[in-house]
Amino acid sequence: QVQLVESGGGLVQPGGSLRLSCAASRSIFKLNAMGWYRQAPGKERELVATFITSSSTKYADSVKGRFTISRDNAKNTVHLQMNSLKPEDTAVYYCNALWAGSSFWGQGTQVTVSS
């Protein structure tokens, strides 16, 4: 089992920034992948950014150049720095980890971009 706890969501104006964090209950070195997804009302959950190896990343086209995923191995934590936020970034953001053939999800954190 892997427990994931997200933090850092909130309300921000367009053009603003937020930093999300996801703390894992086991060493992130042992995870096959770890990253962020989001789900807006009435839409399917979609990939935002993820580590596909310990150093290789993948981003959704819609966030490239604005969002940056990073990791703190000592704290078993992955961060998502979100800059130049747009109203269309409004969603519940979920942390995801793949380990031992299973997929694990955090509880989600709401990000609202509105003036």
The share of the chain scoring above pLDDT 70, in percent, equals: 100
Q: Report residue 27's pLDDT band, with 50, 70 and 90 as the boundaries.
A: confident
Q: What is the DSSP string of 9-26?
A: -EEE-TT--EEEEEEESS
Confidence of residue 53 (pLDDT cuts 50, 70, 90): confident
The predicted pLDDT at position 55 comes to 84
Distance (Å, whole) CA 38 – CA 59: 12
Is 90 exceeded by the pLDDT of residue 30? no
Distances (CA, A) of 68 to 3, 60, 100: 23, 11, 26
Which tens digit of pLDDT belongs to each residue from 69-82? 999 989 999 999 99
